[in-house]
A and B are shown apart, each in its own frame.
Chain A
Amino acid sequence: DGGITQSPKYLFRKEGQNVTLSCEQNLNHDAMYWYRQDPGQGLRLIYYSQIVNDFQKGDIAEGYSVSREKKESFPLTVTSAQKNPTAFYLCASSVIGAGNTIYFGEGSWLTVV
């Protein structure tokens, strides 16, 4: 089945550690995105990429890093520089173009302990 696969679903991290969240899509979409969702805050864009080996910062990129070495994959690293990393992280993808809807994965819950 076509879709977006995020892993792991739940992740615990100690303070000071980096952690990488995986995102793979088989929809043949060119664009991929990472969002963060906090209670009462809505969805906030962290990074997005429209082509392999290129990506752009979103609204809250500080403390995060990404790579796009393959069209299908867009991993997100939450670094120790992110001051409040506990959140629900959503990966998404879309066809490039005006008004194209984005499709989301099932999300990854990150808890810093």
Chain B
Amino acid sequence: QKEVEQDPGPLSVPEGAIVSLNCTYSNSAFQYFMWYRQYSRKGPELLMYTYSSGNKEDGRFTAQVDKSSKYISLFIRDSQPSDSATYLCAMSVQGGSEKLVFGKGTKLTVNP
């Protein structure tokens, strides 16, 4: 079983839809959870950061962590064409950032 699993998609939704992106993981020691957004031919940019379990909201974006199920989610409300990108989940244990483990990314297209 891979340490982090992420459905690669592609995922195509109409503008205004609610988008749900997910990752599952196998290492129960993961404590730090991140979502990165990567536009085509660009470097990833940090979108959301969560420590341990719970929810975090930032504008149209909500990150959820369910450690009991080893499952994290990113919700995008009122999706916009500008949200079209690849979304990468990442997580790490108590340690340095060199131990960050990435999902393979989900490609999202929001159609106007």
Contact = CB atoms under 8 A, between A and B. Distances in A.
Given A42-B105, A106-B43, A98 B32 contact: yes
B104 A107 contact: no
Given A42-B104, A107-B42, A98 B98 contact: no
A3 to B, nearest CB: 10
Contacts, number: 64
Interface of B: 8, 31-32, 34, 36, 41-46, 49, 51, 88, 92, 94-98, 100, 102-105
Given A56-B98, A99-B31, 12 more contacts: A4-B43, A58-B98, A90-B44, A97-B97, A98-B32, A98-B92, A98-B95, A102-B97, A103-B46, A104-B43, A106-B42, A107-B43
The 8 closest A-B pairs by CB, nearest first: A104-B43, A99-B32, A42-B104, A43-B102, A94-B97, A48-B98, A106-B43, A107-B43
